[in-house]
Structure 1
Amino acid sequence: MTELSSPGVRQAPRAPATGRSRDHRPSRDRRHFRPHGRSRKATLGLTGRYLTLCLMLVVMLGPIVWQFLTSLKGRGENVYGGVLPSQPTLDNYLRVAESFPLVQYVGNTLIVAALAVTSNCVFAAMGGYALSRAGWRGRRTVFTVLVATLMFPFESVMISMFLTVRSMGLVDTLIGVWLPGAVSVLNLMIMRAAFLAVPKEVEEAAVLDGANEWQRFTRVFVPAAKGALAVVCLTSFMGAWDDFLWPLIVLTNSDHYTLQLGLKSLAGATTVNDQRLIAAGAMAALIPMMALFFALQRYFFRGVGEGALKT
């Protein structure tokens, strides 16, 4: 069709053709038209990450699963003959309780763990507040010295620790087992970082309301760091529950043995050479830690973020 033009009317010049039409599709639709090479590369990268995570999961959980399946095998089964038990049974757990005083060793370990959890939560919270919010000179120097102590391995100081505990008359006692782990520098760092993450405006509002130092600590900062306290509680319990070397040095009377020493005596007994019993004992030692972790997991992952190291 021929365009009509009126005489004396000047037409607007046409825009030059650019060779491509204007795309009116929203960006949500245009993102699907990516080059195939980039999409394939992103897919391969994601697949590689998932495969790596699956491999790490197998490496970490494989021994635990194998121990659990071994503990369910009966006496007539070959421990190394197959992975799955042909006739699962719980008799090995009953045999563990009969082979050595399991309840007594668990009780001793729980006493040490309860003391360690309580002291670490209280002292780490107080020390973390003093190093983060209390205004006194030299707190950065003190914090640097405390962090520097993490460079020394336990083996380099255990002799001096033993001599100190012996001079206090605490050898062969549960208090002597607990005392060196009454407060951890790592837990102190976690609580300090959690308190530093609390906004300063919150503290200023508490000051305007007339709260003193203790009230600000107990009513403002401690409730704000519940997640970090859960991390401190869990790490303190795990450290006391799994400790083997220090109780081995301090304790001599079998009545005061912790669970790890009891399992060592079970594994080294000449009358008991059954891998099923050892696996059942290892699983019995693992169950309380798993139960505590599942009970505190919602606070634990939040506390890892709160307790991220901050200067």
Structure 2
Amino acid sequence: MWMVLSSLKTPAESMQVPPVWIPLTPSLDAYEKVSGVVNVGRSMWNSLVIASITTAGILLTSMMAGYAFAKYHFPAKSLLFSLLIATMFLPPIVTLIPLYRLVGSIGLNASLAGIIVPNLANAFGIFLMRQFISGVPDELIDAARMDGASEFLILYKIVAPSIAPAIAALALFAFVYHWNSYLWPLTVLQGNADAYPIVISLSRLLSYNRGAVNTGLVMAGATLAVLPPLILFVFLQRFFVDSIVGSAIKG
């Protein structure tokens, strides 16, 4: 709320001490200036492409791998799952340079694909799906197999509807995380401003007209950046709460 109200304040009101909550003369000048400093439409589109495709990839790979770990028996399954969990303890900065070199070796530097491809699978997503899929009765899956259903059909028609809250929660987590991602896109894009997501583009507002008061400009940009994840949360909040309750009951 403070962010939205601050974006409507005049420069004088933004610096007033003590601070005021409600602007006396609300103004949209800050939003007009944001559009003049950064290409908001292009940057929002880039962020939407990155977050949407990455989220879809994470959902697909997490459900498939989670289903395999939960319902299949194969050699070294426990060891592989333990190694997968261990990767969750690695700080992202540790894998930054190896991933960057790998992306460069396949020619994806300075492109949106370079941001998306390494993030299409996620250890946390696999772990979450495995935990929820383990709760799906084996009898349902066995009955579907006896009726001739393929594994993909079972996953889509039986397993997915049974864990819908978990899928929605994972989608929300993944979308918000990759919408707000800063360091990895900045590293991969190498100054390709046309491919900048909104978070990187808005960092230019911090240096715009340096030395002058630009609090309202920064707040206006932040308000624009937070709208898509906020809208997604409004639509998925029921599933998000259900997944938390479900995990607590399972716990």
Q: Output the TM-score relative to the length of structure 1.
A: 0.74
Superposed CA RMSD: 2.0
- Which one has the largest radius of gyration? 1
Q: Secondary structure at the match of 2:242?
A: helix
2:60 is the alignment partner of 1:130: no
**Displacement of 1:84:** 2.1
Change beyond 3 A, Cα 1:168–1:149: same
Q: Distance in 2 between matches of 1:78 and 1:190?
A: 43
Match of 1:296 in 2: 236
Match of 2:224 in 1: 284
Change beyond 3 A, Cα 1:288–1:146: same
Q: Distance in 1 between matches of 2:89 and 2:42?
A: 36
Match of 2:3 in 1: 67
The structure in which a higher percent of residues are helix is: 2
Greater CA deviation, 274-283 or 296-305? 296-305
Q: Output the TM-score relative to the length of structure 2.
A: 0.91
Alignment of 1:217-256 (within 5 A): 217-251=155-189, 252-256=191-195
Q: Secondary structure at the match of 1:77?
A: helix
Q: 2:203 aligns with which of 258, 264, 268?
A: 264
Q: Distance in 1 between matches of 2:194 and 2:9?
A: 30
**Displacement of 1:94:** 2.2
Q: Distance in 2 between matches of 1:157 and 1:273?
A: 38
Give yes or no for contact 2:11–2:215 (8 Å, CA) kept in 1. no
1:51-73 per-residue CA deviation (whole Å, 9 max, x = no partner) reads xxxxxxxxxxxxxx222221110
**Displacement of 1:308:** 6.1
Q: 1:112 aligns with which of 36, 46, 50?
A: 50
1:241-287 per-residue CA deviation (whole Å, 9 max, x = no partner) reads 00001111111111111111111112123457511000010111111
2:19 is the alignment partner of 1:79: no
One-letter code aligned to 2:130? R
Give yes or no for contact 1:196–1:310 (8 Å, CA) kept in 2. no
One-letter code aligned to 1:186? F
Greater CA deviation, 158-167 or 174-183? 174-183
Give yes or no for contact 1:116–1:181 (8 Å, CA) kept in 2. yes
One-letter code aligned to 2:135? A
Alignment of 1:1-311 (within 5 A): 65-81=1-17, 82-251=20-189, 252-270=191-209, 273-306=213-246
**Displacement of 1:200:** 2.3
Match of 1:41 in 2: none
Q: Distance in 1 between matches of 2:155 and 2:248?
A: 20
Match of 1:23 in 2: none
One-letter code aligned to 2:142? E
Question: How many corresponding residue pairs?
Answer: 247
1:152-199 per-residue CA deviation (whole Å, 9 max, x = no partner) reads 101111111111111111111001111222121111111111101112
**Displacement of 1:76:** 4.5
Q: Which structure's relative contact order is higher, taking Cα pairs within 8 Å and 6+ residues apart?
A: 2
Identical counterparts, % of pairs: 30
**Displacement of 1:122:** 0.7
Give yes or no for contact 1:106–1:259 (8 Å, CA) kept in 2. yes
Q: Distance in 1 between matches of 2:115 and 2:123?
A: 18
